[in-house]
Chain A
């Protein structure tokens, strides 16, 4: 099948800063794809190049099998929902939506019908005569969607569209966006730095980092089988323990002298590596766990109530810290200061190459405690 978008080897430099470094990427028709990464990773640059607001230094962008690098943005079959919506402040909601149709010389009754359809789709028909500044953030967001979708593009680009909304509204809009995408069959390309948003909505996620693609795959792929410590860390919370690698046995010996076994070992070059386990995959027990499990001794130094779970910080003898999330349904709360065992399954353990930006989990790297915003 023809790709909705095919990005081939694009590179973009701003002075010495390399925004994109030889990026290639395919977007299937009708797919919901997220570009996920920290700020400055190049995800927005990719989006702006597809829209035509930026031009790659080298490389090719094909939309429905046609190279569009030299096509100005107003001639591309692509529409964008902008980060701060960029609604025309001097036009009513209906005029904002009709603006794109006027450019296509859609007139009279045809235009009115399509404007109404687009506004119906986002449930904004009753606000058709309002000005953008009379709308709430969520309503502006809907108008921005209607303005883009009324053009019936083959690809809709969304640049952090939910960033300005509060949490509850954001979750509601996530569901609505996903529904809208299924109903219209338009390929959605979403730029976000919020992994939960990407996980919730996407068919496929592309994780970008330093202008390159770090890993691409389905949400389950990325969550369950991250290939690097960076992706593992970005996709939800993650504990990392530094140690010496025994490749043959898929084992890693920590600074405490404890040997951890992993079912999965990623492509590690050096003699040292990081063993990773998610907080929700660890269990805390008072009794010695089975030797078949990975297990470490430690002391609970912090306990945080998260509603239906408790989050514990466990201090290991080496000074490393492990975060552990326990369901409150079956376990009693554990007092701070308790000497405990932490155990987890080998299947939930992965070994990654060392990474400049990822350290062993300690007090200083509380970012692994990052909760869904």
Chain B
């Protein structure tokens, strides 16, 4: 007789997702960490990576000044992209959640995620047409006298930045929208009722209550943007580099799996560190705010 204890029955429905996740995420993460300590073998060798003599040499190389610069550019591009996305997403989410009727809301949300129905690659390639120096957009700007020379953005870091913002804007809108929509409109009325003007109500009621959504949107956008390698590959040319692109190059083209793995591990660590710093900053800000406001009782 097989006896399933109530506890295991309770968690049983999680099994498919957890096993899937364990295999494809945890196992591959573990593999990457293991590979990062390996050594690249000559092309003639049977196995592309040797673990005979595990070393930190890959990490030494990953931390060389060239790569550090790319890490920095990556974090900067992702950081600026995240801030730009949040700043543009918030007003959209706010209007959607508070000013638009329920009926129009679903339609507008559909419009916002509509670009995702087109392949990511295709959409990014489309930006090459838009940004091309001899393209229609460039000529229109010149015709209007806004710029004097053909548009020189394509294949630079600027193009990567624009592509990143474009691609992750909807990702930023949705969590913020969900957070704002869950705020009872009566709370804003209650705030006005006891004497707070619109600005105070926004900063004391709406914004704090939307913070979980903002953090969610920020983390999601930042992680996706920092790991992106398609946008720099398509729009960045030789000058627009991000670490995701370099990792892909190391693993797929240079056949240097250990170095690519080490760089991936460093990227993960850098993302975690950024997250921790941002979280800490938030806690400090919150504490300062309470200190400044003074006790209520």
Contacts and interface: CB of A to CB of B under 8 A. Distances in A.
A107 B296 contact: no
Residue among B189, B191, B205, B296 facing the most chain A CB atoms (10 A cut-off): B296
B297 A99 contact: no
Contacts of A147: 190, 194
Contact of A73 (B189, B204, B209): B189
B268 interface: no
A102 interface: yes
A253 B296 CA distance: 69
A143 to B, nearest CB: 11
Contacts of B6: none
Given A73-B189, A80-B190, A82-B189, A103 B196 contact: yes
Contact of B296 (A87, A98, A103): A98
Contact of B194 (A52, A92, A116, A148): A148
Contacts of B204: 99
Contacts of B197: 72, 74
B295 interface: yes
Tell me if B's interface is mostly helix, strand, loop or mixed.
helix
A74 B196 contact: yes
B184 to A, nearest CB: 6
B192 A86 contact: no
A363 interface: no
Given A88-B205, A90-B208, A94-B297, A79 B194 contact: yes
Interface size class of B (residues with CB under 8 A): 20 to 34
B296 A92 contact: yes
Interface in A73-116: 73-75, 78-80, 82-84, 86-90, 92, 94-95, 97-100, 102-104, 107-108, 111-112, 115-116
Contact of A74 (B184, B192, B208): B192
Interface of B: 184, 186-187, 189-197, 200, 204-205, 208-209, 293-297
27 contacts: A51-B189, A52-B192, A72-B197, A73-B189, A74-B193, A74-B195, A79-B193, A80-B189, A84-B186, A86-B186, A86-B187, A86-B189, A86-B190, A88-B191, A89-B209, A94-B295, A94-B296, A95-B296, A99-B191, A99-B196, A100-B194, A103-B196, A103-B200, A115-B296, A116-B297, A129-B297, A147-B194
